């Protein structure tokens, strides 16, 4: 389904999330990200932290769905973004997040093990 808007009519059904597709999308994003990194260049911790956070944020978008109730949204509606609808939810699938963590760890890009994160404790 990607980032498309689908209207679901009463008594209809739609498979709106596929873990295999999620895995392929995240793998592709990580591969693209790794191709942009130049191992010969020296990158400071702050730049690496921001870059890793950007990667994680882009991957999390593949791990869930957003559902709007009552009002439609998208390019064909006055409300172009789901945030503009009066009632909506976002569902993040734990299994997809676990897949994301596994993919990042396999690539050695686990942003949560980056030493620069020790500087920013969670309070």
Q: Which residues are CB-contacts of 34 (< 8 A; sequence separation ≥ 6)?
A: 107, 109
- Whether the model pTM is above 0.95: no
Backbone phi, psi, residue 105, to 5°: -65, -40
14-28, 56-70, 77-91, 106-120, range with the lowest pLDDT: 106-120
SS3 content of the chain, % helix, strand, coil (to 5): 50, 10, 40
Locate the domains of the chain by residue range. Answer: 65-107
pLDDT digits (tens, 9 = 90+) for 31-50: 888 777 766 667 677 777 78
- What three-state secondary structure class fits 90? strand
């Amino acid at each position: 389904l990607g980032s498309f808007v689908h209207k679901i009519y009463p008594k209809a059904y739609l498979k709106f999330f596929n873990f295999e597709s999620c895995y392929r999308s995240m793998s592709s994003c990580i591969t693209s990200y790794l191709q942009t990194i130049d191992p010969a260049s020296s990158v400071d911790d702050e730049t690496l932290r921001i870059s890793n956070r950007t990667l994680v944020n882009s991957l999390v978008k593949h791990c869930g769905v957003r559902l709007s109730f009552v009002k439609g949204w998208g390019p064909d509606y006055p409300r172009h973004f789901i945030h503009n609808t009066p009632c909506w939810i976002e569902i993040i699938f734990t299994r997809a997040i676990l897949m994301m963590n596994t993919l990042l760890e396999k690539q050695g890009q686990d942003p949560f093990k980056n030493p620069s994160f020790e500087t920013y404790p969670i309070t």
